[in-house]
Amino acid sequence: MQCVILAGGLGTRMWPETRTVPKTLLPIAGIPFATWQLSWLAESGIDSVVYCVGHLGQQIRDHVGDGAAWGLSVRYVDEGDDLRGTAGALRLAHDQGALEADFLVLYGDSWLQVDPPQVLRAARERREPALMTVFRNDGRWDGSNVVLEGTRVARYAKGLDPLPAGMRWIDYGLLAFRREVIEDRVPAAWPADLAPVCGGLADDGLLAGLEVSRRFYEIGSVAGRHELETLFAARPEAVSRH
């Protein structure tokens, strides 16, 4: 079971810290965030990780290495200074032969309360070639961007104002794709974002939806990082394990 971690961005909302430290290595409860993420993935049953890196990517390589410290197999796809966007990074991974037949996609600043292998297994049972985890948000933590109809994402669009009727969910931050989606829908050697790719899949009836019940956290903002620090401070037994 493979998970691709998107960790190549500049992290501008966390400057000046992320001028010299990649966002995924920012300390949370005194531990680099990547350590938390990799421990969670490994303990859940994920065995293969692809890091899509760019800004300060060598620091991520130096910290994670080949993944053996977590019992993982880790390889890297490096955008260098020519950042390609979230979808473009996946296309680069595809073109370098790094993607398995199906895989998960996780952002390098996301802390999620869900079982990743269960998500991938759910995706394998669906006819749709892509699956998005979604959370009933109702505008609480960020702008809602998903219309969920049963087990299918009927619409996905960011930044709409006013929100369409029924747009009460938000993308949770964990996706599953079959490899051909990236080949067919993301142009080679060109910057591209995942949002329009997922929006197009939803419009074509090809994006399954899996609702999760526990909220997401992120370290891409000062407030988000503080929230996660608070969560971990309330769970000292989790900190001691890592």
What was the pLDDT predicted at 8? 84
Roughly how many angstroms between the first and final C-alpha of the chain, as a whole number?
Answer: 23
3-state secondary structure of 6: strand
> What pLDDT, on the 0 to 100 scale, is given for residue 10?
72
Quote the CA–CA distance of 123 and 80 in Å, as a whole number.
Answer: 31
Below-50 pLDDT ranges, the chain: 237-242
Distance of CA 46 to the CA centre of its chain: 14
* Domain chopping of the chain, boundaries: 2-241
d(CA 141, CA 239): 25
Report pLDDT for 239: 42
Q: H helices of the chain, where?
A: 33-44, 57-64, 85-95, 116-124, 179-185, 194-203, 222-233, 236-241
Predicted local confidence at residue 235, as pLDDT = 63
Before 187, cis peptide (omega within 30)?
A: no
The sign of the CA dihedral 95, 209, 196, 169 is negative
- C-alpha distances (whole Å) from 143 to each of 80, 101, 114, 139, 148 are 31, 32, 21, 5, 15
Q: What is the per-residue pLDDT for 242?
A: 38
Phi, psi (degrees; rounded to nearest 5) at 58? -65, -30
CATH number attached to the domain at 2-241: 3.90.550.10
pLDDT attached to residue 241 = 39
The CA distance from 47 to 154, in Å, is 32
Q: What is the pLDDT of residue 189?
A: 82
Per-residue pLDDT at 240:
37
How far is C-alpha 36 from the chain's CA centre? 14
What is the pTM (predicted TM-score) of this model? Answer: 0.93
pLDDT recorded at residue 148 = 97
- Token pair listed for 59: 């620091």
Q: What is the dihedral of CA 145, 27, 213, 158, to 10 degrees?
A: 0
Neighbours of 83 (CB within 10 A): 15
Cβ neighbours of residue 15 closer than 8 Å, sequence gap 6 or more: none
